[in-house]
């Protein structure tokens, strides 16, 4: 709960992501391709770390991302270990034109398992616009990602291809990991026609739809709506109705085929008349 003077947040969720990988794989290019957000680190000791913020729209929710580019040089490994605390997602970046950068992903996975175990991660192959110089086949990278339980993307900051999509997918994985799966439950807004059909079918058995004073097309739509939504069995006045298969009625007599298409299930009903051995004088209502 905020006070009267508290600023209104411009986002619904705040996530911290790390971009890791060997040096000169283009992590800075990925950050520079993001036009919005601040590029100054909120901390003064940002040597060896590039920082950028961006806000994405994920299923109608605003998600602000704090993106930290840890340098791939060995002398910055201690910085990665300190910045990995509190990270909620990690992008493992390699250069598709540099085989050595792809082979170094194993070392980064070991660092992550040691200092940030359990943090969701995705594999990103950078510089797709240089595919004519490719040294890492797409299928090999995809199988490697599947083996390590990661989602795989190939991106191109120069062409603005798959950059935002990779951040969006990692944000989805992180939020679902933290119990935000309600965001992706279908929040379907029913049309007026669906609402009317639901109201009619909920109180009308299927076999009585034909008797409604409605056009034939609407009656047919009501029947289809009833079947599709599992509303073909409706309780009306203590009786349940269900549609039986047409094959059962075909085996009977021709005169009773129409009657056999609807089955009336057994239900307890009050007696319609008093028993024969009971007279009006000895049957009293208490």
272 found inside a domain: no
pLDDT of residue 81: 66
Which pLDDT tens digits describe the chain residue by residue (286 residues)? Answer: 344 444 567 888 999 999 999 889 999 899 988 876 555 544 444 455 678 999 998 877 889 999 988 765 554 455 666 667 778 999 999 999 999 999 999 999 998 888 888 899 999 999 999 999 999 999 999 999 999 999 999 999 999 899 999 999 999 999 988 766 554 444 455 566 667 777 887 787 777 888 888 887 777 777 776 766 655 444 333 444 444 444 444 444 444 444 444 444 444 455 555 555 555 555 444 4
CATH number at residue 133: 3.40.50.300
Strand residue runs (E) in the chain: 13-20, 49-58, 61-70, 89-95, 121-126, 151-154, 234-236, 239-243, 262-264
283 found inside a domain: no
DSSP line for 246-285: HHHHHTS-STTHHHHTEEE-------SS--TT--TTT---
pLDDT of residue 10: 82
Residues 178 and 45 in one domain: yes
Whole-angstrom Cα distance, residue 19 to residue 89? 9
268 found inside a domain: no
* Total domains, the chain: 2
Last residue of a domain, one of 159, 184, 209: 184
Residues 96 and 140 in one domain: yes
Whole-angstrom Cα distance, residue 156 to residue 134? 13
255 found inside a domain: no
99 found inside a domain: yes
DSSP three-state, residue 103: helix
Question: Angle 240-245-248 (CA atoms, 0-180°, nearest 5)?
Answer: 110
pLDDT of residue 95: 97
257 found inside a domain: no
Last residue of a domain, one of 138, 162, 184: 184
173 found inside a domain: yes
Residues 29 and 128 in one domain: yes
Residues 226 and 95 in one domain: no
Residues 19 and 161 in one domain: yes
CA atoms within 13 A on the CB side of 58: 30
Question: What's the pTM value of the predicted model, to 2 decimals?
Answer: 0.59
Last residue of a domain, one of 148, 166, 184: 184
**265 torsion bin: left (phi>0), alpha (psi -120 to 50), beta (else):** beta
Residues 220 and 139 in one domain: no
Residue 25: give the domain boundaries: 13-184
Residues 111 and 171 in one domain: yes
Q: Which two tokens stand for residue 90?
A: 């990690």
* φ, ψ for residue 104, nearest 5 deg: -80, -5
Residues 171 and 123 in one domain: yes
Residues 161 and 21 in one domain: yes
Distances (CA, A) of 8 to 2, 63, 118: 9, 15, 32
5 found inside a domain: no
Residues 117 and 205 in one domain: no
Residues 34 and 92 in one domain: yes
Residues 135 and 111 in one domain: yes
pLDDT of residue 244: 40
């Amino acid at each position: 709960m905020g006070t009267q003077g508290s600023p209104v947040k411009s986002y619904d969720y705040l996530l911290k992501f790390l971009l890791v990988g060997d040096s000169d794989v283009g992590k800075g290019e990925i950050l520079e391709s993001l036009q919005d957000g601040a590029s100054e680190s909120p901390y003064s000791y940002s040597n060896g770390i590039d920082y950028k913020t961006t806000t994405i729209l994920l299923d109608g929710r605003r998600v602000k991302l704090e993106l930290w580019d840890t340098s791939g040089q060995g002398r910055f490994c201690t910085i990665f270990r300190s910045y990995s605390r509190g990270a909620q997602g990690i992008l493992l970046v390699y250069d598709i034109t540099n085989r050595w950068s792809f082979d170094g992903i194993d070392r980064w996975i070991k660092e992550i398992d040691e200092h940030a175990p359990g943090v969701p991660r995705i594999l990103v192959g950078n510089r797709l616009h240089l595919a004519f110089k490719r040294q890492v086949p797409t299928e090999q990278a995809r199988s490697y990602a599947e083996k390590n339980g990661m989602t795989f993307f190939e991106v191109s900051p120069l062409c603005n291809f798959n950059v935002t999509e990779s951040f969006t997918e990692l944000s989805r994985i992180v939020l679902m990991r933290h119990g935000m799966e309600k965001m992706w439950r279908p929040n379907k807004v029913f049309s007026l026609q669906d609402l009317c059909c639901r109201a009619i079918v909920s109180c009308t058995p299927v076999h009585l739809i034909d008797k409604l004073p409605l056009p034939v097309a609407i009656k047919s739509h009501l029947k289809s709506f009833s079947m599709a939504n599992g509303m073909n069995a409706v309780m009306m006045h203590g009786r349940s109705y269900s549609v039986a298969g047409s094959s059962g009625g075909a085996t009977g007599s021709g005169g009773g085929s129409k009657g056999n298409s609807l089955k009336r299930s057994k239900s307890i009903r009050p007696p319609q008349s008093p028993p024969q051995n009971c007279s009006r004088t000895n049957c009293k209502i208490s």
